[in-house]
Amino acid sequence: MALTDAANDVDNALTRDGFRGHSFENAFGGALSFLRRTYTKDLMDVDLAVTGIPFDQAVTHRPGTRLGPRAIREVSTLQACDPPYGWDIDPMLDCNVADYGDLAFDYADIPAFPKAVTNHISGILDAGAGSLCLGGDHYITFPILRAYVKKFGPLSLLQFDAHSDTWPDDDMARVDHGTMFYKAVKEGLIVPERSVQVGIRTVCENYMGVNVIDAREVHESGTVAVVKKIKSIIGDHQTYLTFDIDCLDPAFAPGTGTPVSGGLSSAQALHILRDLKGLNMVGGDVVEVSPPFDVGNATAVAGAHVATELMCLYCYNKRERA
């Protein structure tokens, strides 16, 4: 990259020919998309579709996650000019990654929302692409999993979070960001013995058989040991990866609905994700970024970097299994 490239490079999200290439336009200007990827509603030849789900209804404390997708896209412009650090694959050059825009839904018709999400993701999967979703509160993962299981069958869930989200709730129509993985186990969407929750630091009486690596274990055993343990549990099983930004300590991600002290640092999280290279990941999401509670945008920056790691994990897996 030369700094002078910005003199002629602009609006790549709308003007790029095809899907591949870095973007050297000014980070503070231009048409927004995640990592300046080509914006399209045509998924022919797309490997991975990045899509926003700006839903903010089910949180138990602070609102604002509906603004998460926009904030993540905005700060991702700082990453669009270089290959992702620490990887031997560059999805911006080696894969067809597109920004598919946001889910359309009636904000006043909450009961219709879950099906809208499932249909949206099913459309992406039916086109032959994978999805990388930018949330939105964490409830969105539940209807996303319903779409994935239609195609892949029951999945391993790799969840980075401060909370287990397995509090009991047998009302499957109820929209709540603290009960959806209880429901996912009940519906047979995930295989609990092949699933892992990382970063947990709140009490839940029933983890529904899901393996837990709590925050203290991460801090005491180190990231290398955590990665080894995750791989030993999941093996080669097809995996959906969900990252609640409150997995990070509020010092690194203050802008979230339910912050909990004692969490992972952004460095720990990124090291774990990077070292999971080879995970049989079929899709993922980053959720709970709430920009109104972080004037410095550190939370969105963390979210954008996590999303980039998920993109790399997905594209590496796709390349190695082609």
- Greatest alpha-carbon pair distance for the chain in Å reads 58
Q: Known binder of ligand: residue 161?
A: yes
Q: Is 138 annotated as a binding residue?
A: yes
Give residue 316's Cα distance to chain centre: 16
- Peptide bond just before 136 cis, omega within 30 deg: yes
Annotated binding-site residue? 170: no
Only one residue has tokens 């991702």, namely 76
Kindly state the tokens that stand for 160.
Answer: 């980075």
What's the distance, Cα to Cα, between the start and end of the chain in Å? 31
Between CA 245 and CA 130 the distance in angstroms is 21
Does residue 9 have a known ligand-binding role?
no
List Cα–Cα distances, 229 to 159, 222, 309, in angstroms.
14, 11, 19
99 marked as part of a ligand binding site: no
- Annotated binding residue 82: no
* CA-closest candidate to residue 43, choices 51, 53, 32: 51
Reduced 3-state DSSP string for 189-228: CECHHHCEEEEECCCCCCCCCCEEEEHHHHHHHCHHHHHH
Distance between CA 62 and CA 260 in Å, rounded?
A: 13
- Parallel, antiparallel, or unpaired for β 130-135 and 211-214? unpaired
For 24-44, b/e burial (b = at least 16 CB within 10 A) is bbebeebeebbbbbbbbeebe
Distance CA 227, CA 275 (A): 7
- How do 239-244 and 211-214 pair as beta strands? unpaired
Binding residues for Mn(2+): 138, 161, 163, 165, 244, 246
Binding residues: 138, 161, 163, 165, 244, 246
